[in-house]
Structure 1
Amino acid sequence: MVVDLFVIVNEVIVVVVVVVVVVVVVVVVVVVVVVIVIAVVVVVVVAVVVVVVEAVV
């Protein structure tokens, strides 16, 4: 019984660790994607502003 319990606890710990790692990886990927998107948007906005200013001036 004790050995069975130990094995079950080990499996649960492994599953929890795997889930945590997956969640962390997903969060990191999402953050990176969001940062890239924000950077692209900023670059596009700056480019548009520069073009408009050049056109007006």
Structure 2
Amino acid sequence: MQTTAVYYCAYCGEENLTFVDISAGFEQSYIEDCQVCCRPNILYVRIDEDTLDVEIDTDYEE
């Protein structure tokens, strides 16, 4: 099952839309390039087990 979520680039601060695979677990992390500045962001994804709300934090990829 997939859903969409918004995150803000750790480098340029621009809003990005991403797909999240809920079936991959309630806590995930992966790298995705910003759609605006193309720099790699580490996405830390948390999914609420009851409501399936998605929250994403970002960090710089070193």
**CA radius of gyration, larger in:** 1
TM class by shorter chain equals under 0.3
Between the two structures, name the one with larger relative contact order (CA 8 Å, sep ≥ 6).
2
Structure with higher helix content: 1
Structure with higher strand content: 2
Q: Please, what TM-score do these two structures have when normalized by structure 2?
A: 0.15
